[in-house]
Amino acid sequence: MRKGLNMRLAAENDLLVIGEAADSDTALAMAIANCPDIVLVDADMVNTDGIALANILHTMCPQTSVIILSIHDDARTCRRAGDAGAAAIVVKSLPADTLLTAIRDVVC
């Protein structure tokens, strides 16, 4: 999924993908090193779940907004994401345009 998402985002003229990570430890190191505007994280990442990672990123990289991608579409998951400082949560089953809209809304 990560490769497909990378390709989809790279096709957008106004977006620049600066990296991708297979696990939360790598994602955190890359975010600290690169200070991106947005980090997309999967709610079910390896090592640390994406919501916990959002909380860490919110503290360590306050200039970086986090969008969580999740298969879960329930109030508890949305509340946890918001409490962790995530700028948005996008359900994976929604069309790709939903994620693109979320990214652009968070940046603006």
Per-residue pLDDT tens over the stretch 95-105: 989 999 999 99
pLDDT in tens, 52-97: 999 999 999 999 999 999 998 899 999 999 999 999 999 999 998 9
Distances from the Cα of 86 to the Cα of 30, 43, 70, 106, angstroms: 18, 11, 12, 10
Q: What is the DSSP letter of 41?
A: E
Average pLDDT, the chain: 92
pTM of the complete model: 0.92
pLDDT of 3 reads 82
Q: How confident is the model at residue 39 (pLDDT cuts 50, 70, 90)?
A: very high
Give yes or no for a contact between 69 and 95, defined as CB atoms under 8 angstroms apart: no
Q: How far is CA 24 from CA 13, 36, 39, in A?
A: 27, 15, 11
Domains of the chain are 44-108 (3.40.50.2300)
